[in-house]
Amino acid sequence: MTIELPVKVLDPAARIPDAPYDGDAGLDLASVEDVEIPPGGRMGVRTGLAVAIPEGYAGFVQPRSGLALHHGITVLNTPGLIDSGYRGELVVVLHNTDAEQPFRVESGDRIAQLVIMAVPAVEPRQVDQLPGSERDARGFGSSAVRGR
């Protein structure tokens, strides 16, 4: 199944998002500006693009694995959520987890991935009691207790 993603170029330096390989889920997002993220710092990096995500879908901005592994760069609010009604510029909040080295982003560098996924409409309904489950209310670290 293929869905169309309308993309508006807001900056002449912008690159239309693309998937490097057939079957890739993530579309690469690139920077349109030169910035330096200090050690431990964060910065919103512009892509120069706006998109019209179809109703019933959402966009999720996620880190690029190579930047994470080799430079400690991640998307701070990962996954960054883009609702279908948003029409502003895509700005990626990058975080440099390296405590010593700054990270330089240059215009044209691929900085994140955009994944478009179907999301159902949700209608919250207040109830007096939730149905039970095997996990029930066990939270943080609960699977470690079971040896997982």
Tell me whether residue 71 is in a domain. Answer: yes
Give a yes or no: residue 139 inside a domain.
Answer: no
The H or E element that residue 69 is part of is helix 65-71
* 133 domain residue, yes or no: no
Q: How far apart are CA 6 and CA 22, in angstroms?
A: 20
End-to-end CA distance of the chain: 35
Indicate whether this model's pTM tops 0.85: yes
Tell whether 90 is covered by a domain: yes
Share of the chain above pLDDT 70, in %: 95
What whole-number percentage of the chain has pLDDT above 90?
86
Number of separate domains in the chain: 1
- Looking at the domain assignment, is residue 87 inside a domain? yes
pLDDT for 64-120, tens place per residue?
Answer: 999 999 999 999 999 999 999 999 999 999 999 999 999 999 999 999 999 999 999
Cis peptide before 79 (omega within 30 of 0): yes
Q: Is there a contact between 35 and 43 (Cβ–Cβ < 8 Å)?
A: yes
The answer as to whether 84 is a domain residue is yes
What's the mean per-residue pLDDT of the chain?
A: 94
**Which CATH number is 45's domain given?**
2.70.40.10
